[in-house]
Structure 1
Amino acid sequence: MSKEIERKFLVANLPDLSKAKKAVVRQGYLTAPDDSTELRLRQKNDAYFLTLKGVGGLVRVEREAEITADQFETFWPETEGRRVEKIRYTAQLQDGLVFELDVFAGDLAPLCLVEVEFTSQDQATRYVPPDWFGTDVTDDTRYKNKTMAINGVPD
């Protein structure tokens, strides 16, 4: 079973992103707002994915399959009202871990969130983030992309 172990933070100050990889992302959710499992369509530059994410904060099930552009476009209309647009910057931190920083567009602008994935739950709980990271929102369900796609930026 594929598991994702990650922590998510608000961004206190944007770092230098000049060496980061940049991807334009649009994603929409096929599952109902009250469904605890997420079924997501994602376009990341010219690649398309169908992703299932289970319940959880720090650790949760994640399964992903690449799909064709035609398959993506077939289901995309069903995500109306449950969509997110963002620019994702990916780079390495000084400690060797990789961060993914999302700069949201549309109704979620100017929100910025940063995520770091880990190989173990112990590594995740011991992690000390750099100064430019803000509040840890890993367990705050208001900052899940699906929740924000439906409800907007948390108050």
Structure 2
Amino acid sequence: MSIEIERKFLVAELPDLGGTKKAVVRQGYLTASEDSVEMRLRQKNDSFFLTLKGAGGLARVEREAEISADQFETFWPETEGRRVEKVRYTGTLPDGHVFELDVFEGDLAPLCLVEVEFTSEQDAQNYTPPAWFGADVTEDKRYKNKNMAINGRPS
């Protein structure tokens, strides 16, 4: 079983994005807002994925399979009204952790969130974020992509 352990933060100040990898992302949700698990379609540049994420905050089940563009397009219409568009910057922090910085577009702009993954819950809980990270929103369901795709940007 694949467990994702990550913390999510608002961004207090955008860092220098030189040296990061940039990906244009569009994702849509096949599951309803009240479902405890989420099934997501994601296009990341020229790659396509179907992802299951379990319930939870800091740690949760995640399973992902790469799919074809045709398979993606077959199901994409079913995500209408439950979509997110963003640009993702992936880089490495001075402490060696990898970060994923999402700059949201459309109705979610100008929201920016950053995530860091960990190998254990203890490492995640003991983590001290850099100064450019803002408030920790790991457990705040309003900042889950699925929730924002359905309900819009948190106020």
Q: Any residues of structure 2 matched to 1:90-129 within 5 Å, and which?
A: 90-129=90-129
Tell me the TM-score normalized by structure 1.
1.00
Aligned-pair distance for 1:112? 0.0
1:10 pairs with 2:10: yes
Q: Aligned pair count?
A: 155
Aligned-pair distance for 1:94? 0.3
* Amino acid in structure 2 at the alignment position of 1:81: G
What does residue 19 of structure 1 align with?
Answer: 19
* RMSD over aligned Cα atoms: 0.3
**Among the aligned pairs, what percent are the same residue?**
79
Structure 2 distance, partners of 1:119, 1:95, is 15
Q: Any residues of structure 2 matched to 1:1-155 within 5 Å, and which?
A: 1-155=1-155
* Other structure's SS at 2:71 match: helix
Deviation per residue, 1:19-69 (Å, 9 max, x gap): 100000000000011111000000000000000000000000000000000
* Amino acid in structure 2 at the alignment position of 1:144: K
Runs of 5+ in structure 2 lacking a partner? none
Structure 1 distance, partners of 2:43, 2:109, is 19
Tell me the TM-score normalized by structure 2.
1.00
Runs of 4+ residues over 4 Å off in structure 1: none
* Amino acid in structure 2 at the alignment position of 1:84: V
Structure 1 distance, partners of 2:33, 2:115, is 23
* Amino acid in structure 2 at the alignment position of 1:40: R
Runs of 5+ in structure 1 lacking a partner? none
